[in-house]
Structure formats: C-alpha cells, structure tokens
Amino acid sequence: MKAIIFILASLLVTQTMAAESWLDNLMDDNKKAEINQRWHADGGEMNLLFYYGRLQSLGIEVKGTVAFDTNNWTENTYIMPIKNIGGLSLKVPYGNLIGIDQGVLSLAGQFEWHHNGQVIEFNGLTLRVSNQHKQDSDVVGFEMVNDQGQVLFYFDHVHSTLDVKNQFLNLENMDVSISPTLAKILDEPKLSGLTIGQAHIQSHLTLPPGGYQDIKSVEGGSCANRPLWPGDPRPSDGNPAQVDVFLTEMNASQRRNLNNGYIVVTPSAELRNGIANPTATQSQDMADVAWYTKYSGTFAPYQNAQHPFLIWNMYRIIDDRIEQIGVSGVKHAFLTINFNCDINCNNGHILWPGCEDIYGVGNNDSGSSLGPRENIEAYKGLWTESPSFFDPNNSGSQTNSSNGTDENRMVVAEADLGVPGAEYVFSSWYLVRDDINIFNTMGYKPYSVTESNGNWFFQQQANLTLGAASDSYVTPNSFDLSAGTASARKTIEGAGHVTLAVRVVDQGNGQYTYNYMVENHDFDPQVQAITLPLNDLASMTDFIFADTDEDAGNDWTVSRSNHVLTLQAPAGNEIDWGILYSFSFTSNAEPIAGDVEAKPLGVMRRPIIGSLIVPGDLSDLIFENDFEILN
C-alpha cells in the first residue's frame, strides 16, 4: 500500500502576537512606527534531524534522507533548501523579535516513511505555521501540512535569534512531533504528539529600508540602567535586587530505548524570570539572570560564563513507599529567547524581568550540553569550567561531550515501570545562581506509564505543580498523627535544603509499617546517616531500602543499639543533592511524635533534625508485673 503525501513546503504564519508588556510600558515617539515596521526573511535552508533510532523502535524506517547514525543523532543532517520565493514577515520592534505572523517559505526535498508494509511519500515537501501547537513561551509555532490541508507534524520549542550582522534569521532546536492526522495514517493513534525529530532553519534576513532603533538607545527607557544584577541596588528603594525564577511548564517522554532493559526519559521545559503580571515598579526591581554559553568568555556579574542548570528526576509511589527510579545529569543552558518580557534589552545571554525561555526534548538530549551532577555545587549554583567533564585536560575550552545514547541522561529500568498500583511522578528543576526560592524553580507532574511493543508512553495525569516531587507524597512541613503522615523541610544556613518525611500505615493486629524518605534538594555536604528511636524490644520486619541504583552492594547498613535504629551509608553512596532515598519496616511499636536525625557528611556538622512520627516505646505492652509481651 502506498500513501502519497504532497507537502507544499511552506511556512505560513497565522498566529497572533502575545502581549509584550515591555512595549506597553515604553514611552517613545517612534513606538508606533517600530511596532508596525516589518522585517523580512526568505531563502536559506532547513536541517531536519529525525530520531532514526526512535523511529526504528516504532517500526518506522526513513528512506531518502541520508546515511545516519542511530547512536549520535546530533551528527545526522538532512538539508532541505528553502526557495527564494515568498518569505516571512517578522515583528521586530526595537530589534527584539516578538513574533512571525505572516508569510510563506517553500522547501525542496523528499523522503519516505515505511511502516507495516505501508509507504508514505513526502514529496514536494510542505510546511505551515500557526497557533495550534505553539507553546506559551514560543515565539512561533509551526505545522507541516499537505496540499489538502492535513496537518502532519508540529514544530515547537523554538530557539529564535536574529543575526543582524550576517543577516540571518535562525529558528533552531525545534522539536518535531507527530500530528493526530499522521498518527491516524500510520494506524498508530498513540503516536500523536510524540517527538520524533529536531529541525533548524536559517533564512536570509532583510532589514527595513530605514533601519531600526535599538532598544538600548531609547532615552529614559527601561533598559537605561540594565542589567541589574543580584545584589545591585533596586531602583525603587535601594535594597538589593533579587532573582526569583519560576518553572512554568515541562513534559516528559521516552527519548530512546537502549534495548538492554532500560530507556532514556527526557523532558521539555519552560521558565519565567519573576512573578506573573508584575507592576512596573516590580519589573524594574527584578534582577536579571546571567545566561552565558559555557567556555564563551568572562562576563559580569560573576566574572565567568554563568548559566542555569537543568536536572530532572523520576519517582514511583508503591505500597505507600516513595522511590526515586531516575536521575538525570545536568543540562547546561546556553541561550534564552526572552519572550513575553516585562523588560527586554535585546541580549540572548541575559534573562530579563518577566522574560520566558523554552527548551525542547531534543535540546535537552544534546550530548554537548549534558554533564554530570558532581561538577555542580548546588546550593551556591557554582560550576568550575576547567578542569571538568567538558574539559578534562584543563585546556580552557570544551574538548569532551556526553555520548549520543545514555551518558548523563536519565536512564530508567523498564522493570520499574508499568507496575500495577504504582504512581509515577516526574520532576524538573532549573538551578539558578542566587535564586531566592528553589521550590518555585522546580515542579512535578504525575504520569501514567504504559508499554507497547517495547515503547513506553507517558500521559500526564495533572498539570504542573511547583515544588519538589516529594510534596506529592507528604505535604511539606505538615504533621498529622491520626493520618500517619509528617514532613519536615529544613533549611541549613549557608548549606542548602533537606526534607524528611514519613507515612505510617496501620496494618492491623498491632502492626505498623513506617515508610521514611530523606530528600537532599541542594545540600552539598550530603547526608551519610539516619537515626530514629526504636525500642530494642520492638519487632522490626520487612525492611526495604531504596537508593537510586540497583547495586545491593552499596546499600546502607542497618543497626540497632540503645533503643536507636541507625542507617549508615557506605563511602560513595551518601545522599547527594537532587537525590531521594527511602526505607521502610514494620514494627509492633505504635506511632508517636518524635525526631528523626539526618547526619551530614564531614566532621563538626550538626545533625539535621526533623520532627516526624516514630515508633513508640511499647508502654502499652508492659504489664504491672513487668513482664513484656513481644511479637
């Protein structure tokens, strides 16, 4: 069977522009002219990078592109020339690209998909742009359609830049996902929305005949005294300016199956600098965020190439226990698109007040930007460029990257997925230096996870909630003895944050299961031991310890002495930042209020004490004749 899809290869932009409050607040005689003035882009090329390994796992074979390497997807290229007809009309007031709302690009090139005996031909290739799949933080969203108006692919999570010097419009790192229509053609409805590639467009840029006015040249404008770095005096009152970045969206999906019982899971993510809908004064008082590409030079305010770091984790809640089953490396951010800004001073390496940024699945799977967590000092937001994973020989430049498959990715065992009765939670966190609240820069979603022919599909069950994923297990800083839940989130001055929590389950017949967790958010000294009260005469059965690996040889040791239960980490398996460990046991000791202590690594450090629920002292089992009944 052969289905022929003719694609008119055009990018037809029909979206409306999002509100840009920095324009609303700008007082300038030329504002109307700048808003109405259009820039133009046409010609150039599109590079389409299919995830060939991912498509193969779905039973889809791509024909007619070029030779490819399934283990190094970023090295694959399929160049599709853009014809020098039509073009895009850009809204670029004061040199800031805020949208593409009309125009056509025509592409050249063709390829085929082969699936279950069906050949789908993409000829005379066609694209279109619209609002239908545009993300909130996107400058523009694209659709690929055929000549009958059928939408085949979505393009989103766009990194857009204007290279005025060389006269190029760059639309890079776009996620390419399957539309419902194409999923129906494939007779695979569950593939709808699945990201299967990445695309980059470079088009020739034509500036207005009369040029343009740079935002920095507007006298008395909001950019007159920017950047305003953390600690600089605020314009309104002279107090130190602060950074408060918010995670605004993220979505998780399987990136690849490693064909060894493990899969790689990767998110897209969006953020915003500062609260939503601030007043003009609040905007002016917000600090700006450094966003410099690693090894790009030395810049204010830290005299380095400071940038945010993105991590992600996965958890499951099973039998009233929470376990961390996935740990990513660190994605080093390198560019911000600065969309929907309150202040926008036209620099893609500074996140201005109110500005949003966006990173797609492919972008967050780029080996050149992924490194290990151990190179980061989380609480301070510090990273030493050289020597490091990216520069092991201390050369002052990047000479090493993660591989194209699993290195510094979040690798999850398939055996941990799809377990009946288990709940799955995925979280992401942007680690930003000097951020005043880490818990609104991280967020989580519950997912259902199902398998089909070796592919795992993630379906979110609720919208993004800000905070640590463990908040979904026990409400932070809560205590309810009757419900058997308690949590203590501790701030260790100058060192970071740790959460201790417990769920107690009454099993009947005088038996209680205690489910404890300790999560190290950004506490760099790490946690090496945990202690809690447990009467020496109390029973203790069904002990379970869960760290983040499958190596039983590095599990924590358990001991009981002087009515205290102690868990001790072997060297090298302490609870590091961004990590949650848990343990459970059943006892005949009734639950009471009591303290659990987490001991930091290193000497002369005070224990972290959480007021939780602990096993009682067995007083109800002691008779007047001093005999004790033990289970």
**Distance of alpha carbon 127 from alpha carbon 605, whole angstroms:** 60
Residue 623 predicted with pLDDT over 60:
no
**Distance of alpha carbon 248 from alpha carbon 271, whole angstroms:** 5
Q: What is the pLDDT of residue 627?
A: 43
Number of folded domains that form the chain: 3
Strand partners, 10: none
Does the residue 194 lie in any domain?
yes
Output Rg (C-alpha) for the chain, integer angstroms: 27
Q: Are 516 and 529 in contact (CB under 8 A)?
A: no
Does the residue 211 lie in any domain?
no
**Distance of alpha carbon 105 from alpha carbon 199, whole angstroms:** 15
User: What's 243's DSSP letter?
Assistant: B
Q: What proportion of the chain, given as a percentage, has pLDDT over 70? A: 94
Q: Are residues 400 and 549 in the same domain?
A: no
Q: Are residues 441 and 508 in the same domain?
A: no
Does the residue 247 lie in any domain?
yes
Residue 329 predicted with pLDDT over 60:
yes
Q: Are 201 and 79 in contact (CB under 8 A)?
A: no
Does the residue 631 lie in any domain?
no
Number of H helices, E strands in the chain: 5, 41
Q: Rounded mean pLDDT of 42-68?
A: 89
Q: What is the pLDDT of residue 220?
A: 61
Residue 558 predicted with pLDDT over 60:
yes
Q: Rounded mean pLDDT of 246-274?
A: 96
Q: Rounded mean pLDDT of 251-266?
A: 95
Tell me the C-alpha to C-alpha distance, in Å, between residue 36 and each of 31, 39, 44, 212: 9, 10, 25, 12
Q: Are residues 198 and 233 in the same domain?
A: no
Which range marks the domain in which residue 97 is found? 2-206
User: For residue range 41-54, what is the model confidence (pLDDT) as tens digits?
Assistant: 999 999 999 999 89
Domain boundary among 449, 471, 493: 471
| Phi-psi label, residue 334: left if phi above 0, alpha if psi -120 to 50, beta otherwise | alpha
Q: Rounded mean pLDDT of 174-203?
A: 94
Indicate which CATH number applies to the domain containing 480.
Answer: 2.60.40.1170
**Distance of alpha carbon 464 from alpha carbon 48, whole angstroms:** 30
Q: What is the pLDDT of residue 205?
A: 95
Q: Are residues 265 and 346 in the same domain?
A: yes
pLDDT band at 183 (very low <50, low <70, confident <90, very high): very high
Q: Which of 477, 489, 507, 497 is nearest to 584 (CA)?
A: 507
Q: What is the pLDDT of residue 131?
A: 77
- Residue type present at position 239: N
Q: What is the pLDDT of residue 119?
A: 92
pLDDT band at 28 (very low <50, low <70, confident <90, very high): confident
Q: Are residues 236 and 202 in the same domain?
A: no
Q: Rounded mean pLDDT of 131-135?
A: 80
Q: Are residues 444 and 484 in the same domain?
A: no
User: For residue range 469-509, what is the model confidence (pLDDT) as tens digits?
Assistant: 999 999 999 999 999 999 999 999 999 999 999 999 999 99
Comparing 27 with 208, the larger pLDDT belongs to 208
Residue 56 predicted with pLDDT over 70:
yes
Domain boundary among 206, 235, 250: 206
User: For residue range 330-342, what is the model confidence (pLDDT) as tens digits?
Assistant: 999 999 999 999 9
Q: What is the pLDDT of residue 151?
A: 86
Q: Out of 150-154, 437-441, 617-621, give the one with best mean pLDDT.
A: 437-441
Q: Are residues 321 and 373 in the same domain?
A: yes
Q: Are residues 411 and 346 in the same domain?
A: yes
Does the residue 368 lie in any domain?
yes
36 Cβ neighbours under 8 A, 6+ residues apart: none
Comparing 603 with 393, the larger pLDDT belongs to 393
Mean pLDDT of the chain: 91
Q: Which of 309, 331, 323 is nearest to 425 (CA)?
A: 323
pLDDT band at 622 (very low <50, low <70, confident <90, very high): very low
User: For residue range 282-318, what is the model confidence (pLDDT) as tens digits?
Assistant: 999 999 999 999 999 999 999 999 999 999 999 999 9
Q: How many of the other CB atoms lie within 10 Å of CB of 13?
A: 22
* Weakest mean pLDDT among 7-11, 381-385, 587-591: 7-11
User: For residue range 96-110, what is the model confidence (pLDDT) as tens digits?
Assistant: 898 888 887 888 888
Q: Are residues 346 and 401 in the same domain?
A: yes
User: For residue range 205-242, what is the model confidence (pLDDT) as tens digits?
Assistant: 999 988 888 887 776 678 888 999 999 999 999 999 99
Q: Are residues 11 and 116 in the same domain?
A: yes
Q: What is the pLDDT of residue 12?
A: 40
Q: What is the pLDDT of residue 332?
A: 98
Q: Rounded mean pLDDT of 249-278?
A: 95
Does the residue 628 lie in any domain?
no
What's this model's pTM, rounded to 2 decimal places? 0.91
3-state secondary structure of 414: helix
Q: What is the pLDDT of residue 277?
A: 87
What is the DSSP secondary-structure string of 407-430?
Answer: TTSEEEEGGGSS-TT-EEEEEEEE
Domain boundary among 153, 176, 206: 206
Please tell me the total number of residues recorded for the chain in this structure: 631
Does the residue 75 lie in any domain?
yes
Q: What is the pLDDT of residue 453?
A: 86
User: What's 576's DSSP letter?
Assistant: -
Element (H, E) at 362: none
Residue 603 predicted with pLDDT over 50:
yes
Q: Are 106 and 83 in contact (CB under 8 A)?
A: yes
pLDDT band at 387 (very low <50, low <70, confident <90, very high): very high
Q: Are residues 505 and 535 in the same domain?
A: yes
Q: Rounded mean pLDDT of 61-77?
A: 79
**Distance of alpha carbon 539 from alpha carbon 545, whole angstroms:** 17
Q: What is the pLDDT of residue 261?
A: 95
pLDDT band at 371 (very low <50, low <70, confident <90, very high): very high
Q: Are residues 165 and 113 in the same domain?
A: yes
Does the residue 504 lie in any domain?
yes
Q: What is the pLDDT of residue 26?
A: 79
Q: Rounded mean pLDDT of 193-215?
A: 91
509 Cβ neighbours under 8 A, 6+ residues apart: none
